[in-house]
Amino acid sequence: MTNIALIVAAGKGARTGLDTPKQYIEVAGKTILRRTIEAFLSHPGIDQLQIVIAEGDRTLYDKATEGLSLLPPITGGVERQDSVRAGLESLLESRPRFVLIHDAARPFVSHDLISRTLAALENGAEAVLPALTISDSLKTISEQRITGALDRNSIVAAQTPQGFAFAPILAAHRTFAGEALTDDTAVAERAGIEILRIEGDTANIKVTTAEDVERARRAFIHPLTDIRNGFGFDVHAFCEGDGVWLGGIHIPHNKGLKGHSDADVALHALTDALLGSIGDGDIGTHFPPSDMEWKGASSDRFLKHAAGLIAKRGGMISHVDITIICEAPRIGPYRAAMRTRIGDILRLDEERISIKGTTTERLGFTGRGEGIAAQAIATVRLPE
């Protein structure tokens, strides 16, 4: 077996305040654990699954996994690190090349995220961490009073599955057993293993609280039949410079674009379209130009924030269409790169991304070469 997914389901889920461990709570007729397992079982790159459960949970486990083809479950330990180590030890006979370690309480894990984690391992990484950049301001507090701020540019939110070459991560867990490290990349870091960070998935939430359980129920019970369209429009004037940011990529040009952030007019229009689809203001509402925190900021942060708001509502982005209006630079040579970049930001297939360039036949401010305009339409599906 080449690739095995190790699903950690040994926790008690006390923070939900419910009597049943969260991984065994049913949402729309299936337990959270089963939904997580099925996401990996249905992925062509995963050869087998190993589940780690808590002592005394075998009856719950058997009921949740009835009819599925899995390796016999392994009983975990007191701490998560103990449970993962027990699971890794159980794979010695199978000796997989790669192992993906995933929390059972993340039932929204996508095939795309699994594929990208495996691809990073195939390309030579020994450890892979999916993580999200932070767009919200982060504060430190003491007794509910703000005491300071953290630099969010140096902080990411870790997710699972975390991918590893099997032999090194097993050795690391054996060496640093009992240190109660927070996750498996922390164990790898302790062992000096280099960790590659890839972009996470905003929809890949971890069910932790009772509110998360209800959110999961709504997402699985209610089909995404509420179809919304949002429209965005933005303009930026040219200024002195040697290139412009458009569609998330830098394009060489004899001018720059004037703006508080990086002035990516295409991503700004698309961000407004996404926000418009859920009726949540505009880009200036969330990222005021009067706030120096956003001076020179990369616009992919704005776009990720808008996508995250849609994901929090249990929705998904179905399609986006951008038209960039300018005499120069030419858009055609960079269209493919823009589609790829926007696809990476939104975790969206490129076939669902349209980018067009046009001119105004030398009429108006764009025709006179004074700036660039962009308009965008986004189609979003939300649960009723």
pLDDT at 223 over 70: no
pLDDT tens digits, 60-118: 999 999 999 888 999 999 899 999 999 999 999 889 999 999 999 999 999 999 999 99
Question: What confidence score (pLDDT) does residue 6 get?
Answer: 97
Each residue of 24-33: pLDDT tens digit?
988 877 899 9
pLDDT digits (tens, 9 = 90+) for 293-348: 888 889 999 999 999 898 888 788 999 999 999 999 999 999 999 999 999 898 88
Task: Evaluate whether 68 touches 41 at the Cβ level (below 8 Å).
Answer: yes
pLDDT band at 360 (very low <50, low <70, confident <90, very high): very high
Does the pLDDT at position 198 exceed 70? yes
- Per the structure block, which two tokens stand in for 305? 């924030």
> From CA 107, how far away is CA 232, in angstroms rounded?
32
| Residue 324, both tokens | 């960039």
Residue 206 has pLDDT above 60, yes or no: yes
Percent of the chain with pLDDT over 90: 69
Q: Which domains does the chain show, CATH number per domain? A: 3-220 (3.90.550.10), 224-382 (3.30.1330.50)
Spatial distance between the Cα atoms of 359 and 232, rounded to a whole number of angstroms:
18
Question: What was the pLDDT predicted at 268?
Answer: 97
For 314-345, b/e burial (b = at least 16 CB within 10 A) is: bbbbbbbbbbbbbeebebeebbebbbebbbeb
